[in-house]
Amino acid sequence: QMEARQPGFNPQTLVETMVWDKAHQRVVTSSEGMEGGAQPGVPFSSLRLVDVELEPLGHISDQQEYRVMVGYNVIASLLPEHRGGEAGQVGTVPFRRLEDARLRLVNLGPRSSRTSAPDGVGFPVCTVCGEARSPFASPAEIENFSKGHEEVCGRGTSWVALHADVRSELLLLGPFEDDAAAINAVVALQIGIRRVLETGDQDLEVMTLKEADDREVGVLFDPMPGGSGLLPLLRQHWGEVIQAARESLSACDCESACYRCVLNFRNQQHHGALNRHAALNALTDIDGSFKATHAIPPSFVEQSVDTDAADSKAEEWFTALLKTKSFPLYDAAQYQVSLSGGSHTIADFAFTTAKVLVFIDGLSKPIHGNPEQQRKDKVARAKARAQGWSVVESSAQALKDKTMAAALLDELAVYLEAVEGD
Ligand SMILES: [Zn+2]
Ligand SMILES: [Zn+2]
């Protein structure tokens, strides 16, 4: 169930500007970067992937036209929102556990420099219809692709990175004495988990993160929406998992790394750093019980948005409001609903499963300000209610008003919970 199938869906809202700090292998979202002045690095656009469970970031399947082994440059960054957790030490290594955190994974494109990408970043995508070409396609093919979509979609090729924001519990391990130990530790844990826990086809994902101090930490997260419960199980069976990983890594007879021990297709970005002996050492570092030394308070993004800014900000405000209060995100913007009598109305946001429409009046002031339009809106919304939709209405300015925004969320929660309950 892709957002893009919703009528009136505008994929441009999924494009964000980011900066790639090549020297430190970090990606910074432009809003973060602007706070601390100019961010050194390569600016690029990235298209957010929605409801795809990370598949395009690394999996390969028989359905793909070209089953080639392409290594992608995927960079993880921790977004500032989470519901708190705890920090302390496990073995000799610092750990942090964050509830309901956001991990952003940005796929900058193939690691090979032989792509046609102008800045060496991204995939050629029509951001209007979502069609794409291989980044290895010839310049002539990309030119042809661009022309075709310019005619039909009104916009040529954009070279965009692809990103997904994973919402998961996170276990962060590190920094270790040696930065390379971070990836070896989490890959080794992944091996142990598969042997000890009944994971079925579920798996914990591993990544590394560059912290602000440029130190590397290992990250374990759960790619299942809503969580598969593997992370709490891992902590519970920590000792057994470490022991199983040790046995598996010691049993191999390769010199440093091979596909029987630490290497797999998904971790090829880290093949240079993976080494079964380093992994065994990293396991020794993290062998011990979790000693939490302090709680991490929940962190929400403080939005400092200019209240006088135009209506175009309303979507940003509404999204930020939902995120801050840990609400599920709407699954369509500018959602068209057909009404009785052959007419239709366009809701600014829709939660299609819960059947909730959100109208933010003032998104286009001249239309909504006029009394005749207000009467029409009222009738259209009544018709939508008659079809089983719940309707929530707000003015754009009210989204920035803490009291009114809270009232809006109270109302929205009732409609969303009603569905969750059954
Ligand atoms: Zn197109
Ligand atoms: Zn091996």
Residue 355: predicted pLDDT: 94
Measured in Å, residue 30 CA sits from the centre of ligand 2 at 41
Pick the CATH number of 313-420 from 3.40.720, 3.40.50, 3.40.960, 3.30.70: 3.40.960
Measured in Å, residue 339 CA sits from the centre of ligand 1 at 29
Confidence category of residue 66, pLDDT binned at 50, 70, 90: very low
Residue 1: predicted pLDDT: 32
Measured in Å, residue 131 CA sits from the centre of ligand 1 at 6
157 pLDDT above the threshold of 60 = yes
402 pLDDT above the threshold of 50 = yes
Measured in Å, residue 251 CA sits from the centre of ligand 2 at 8
Residue 198: predicted pLDDT: 73
Of all ligands present, the nearest one to the C-alpha of 249 is 2
Measured in Å, residue 191 CA sits from the centre of ligand 2 at 12
Residue of 11 and 8 predicted with greater confidence:
11
296 pLDDT above the threshold of 80 = yes
User: Mean pLDDT for the chain?
Assistant: 83
Angle between helices 180-196 and 238-251 (to 10 degrees): 100
Among 161-165, 305-309, 403-407, which is the least confidently predicted range?
A: 305-309
Confidence category of residue 308, pLDDT binned at 50, 70, 90: very low
Measured in Å, residue 269 CA sits from the centre of ligand 1 at 31
Measured in Å, residue 186 CA sits from the centre of ligand 2 at 16
Of all ligands present, the nearest one to the C-alpha of 4 is 1
Q: How far apart are CA 201 and CA 56, in angstroms?
A: 17
Q: What is the pLDDT of residues 247-293, one digit of tens each?
A: 999 999 999 999 999 998 888 889 999 999 999 999 999 999 999 99
Percent of the chain with pLDDT over 70: 84
Give the angle subtended at the CA of 53 by the CAs of 52 and 59, to the nearest 5°. 95
Confidence category of residue 34, pLDDT binned at 50, 70, 90: very low
Residue 30: predicted pLDDT: 62
Measured in Å, residue 9 CA sits from the centre of ligand 2 at 48
Which are the contacts of 37, defined by CB distance < 8 A and separation ≥ 6?
none
Residue 85: predicted pLDDT: 94
Measured in Å, residue 65 CA sits from the centre of ligand 1 at 20
CA dist 113 to 118, 138, 142, 395, Å?
Answer: 11, 14, 17, 49
Classify 67 as helix, strand or coil: coil
Residue 301: predicted pLDDT: 61
Residue 196: predicted pLDDT: 92
Residue 312: predicted pLDDT: 60
pLDDT (mean) for 18-40: 71
Measured in Å, residue 185 CA sits from the centre of ligand 2 at 15
295 pLDDT above the threshold of 60 = yes
Question: Of 126, 123, 36, 31, which Cα lies nearest the Cα of 77?
Answer: 31
Query: And the tokens for 310?
Result: 């135009």
Of all ligands present, the nearest one to the C-alpha of 158 is 1
Of all ligands present, the nearest one to the C-alpha of 154 is 1
Percent of the chain with pLDDT over 90: 41
Among 215-219, 251-255, 378-382, which is the least confidently predicted range?
A: 378-382
Query: And the tokens for 113?
Result: 């420099």
Residue 51: predicted pLDDT: 58
Measured in Å, residue 150 CA sits from the centre of ligand 1 at 7
Measured in Å, residue 267 CA sits from the centre of ligand 2 at 14
The total of other beta-carbon atoms located within 10 Å of residue 329's CB is 14
Of all ligands present, the nearest one to the C-alpha of 255 is 2
Measured in Å, residue 188 CA sits from the centre of ligand 2 at 12
68 pLDDT above the threshold of 60 = no
Classify 354 as helix, strand or coil: coil
SS (H, E, C) 377-391: HHHHHHHHHHCCCEE
309 pLDDT above the threshold of 50 = no
The full set of domain ranges for the chain reads 3-296, 313-420
By CB atoms closer than 10 A (0-12, 13-18, 19+), residue 225 is exposed
Measured in Å, residue 233 CA sits from the centre of ligand 2 at 27
Measured in Å, residue 273 CA sits from the centre of ligand 2 at 14
Measured in Å, residue 261 CA sits from the centre of ligand 2 at 4
Residue 264: predicted pLDDT: 87
pLDDT (mean) for 137-161: 89
The total of other beta-carbon atoms located within 10 Å of residue 32's CB is 15
Main-chain phi, psi angles of 13, to 5 degrees: -70, -10
Confidence category of residue 15, pLDDT binned at 50, 70, 90: confident
340 pLDDT above the threshold of 90 = no
Most confident of 60-64, 76-80, 113-117, 255-259: 255-259
Of all ligands present, the nearest one to the C-alpha of 146 is 1
Question: Of 302, 322, 307, 304, which Cα lies nearest the Cα of 401?
Answer: 307
Q: What is the pLDDT of residues 73-104, one digit of tens each?
A: 899 999 888 989 999 999 999 999 999 999 99
Of all ligands present, the nearest one to the C-alpha of 264 is 2
Per the rule left: phi > 0, alpha: psi between -120 and 50, beta: everything else, 120 is left
Confidence category of residue 380, pLDDT binned at 50, 70, 90: very high
Confidence category of residue 113, pLDDT binned at 50, 70, 90: confident
Of all ligands present, the nearest one to the C-alpha of 256 is 2
ipTM of the shown complex: 0.88
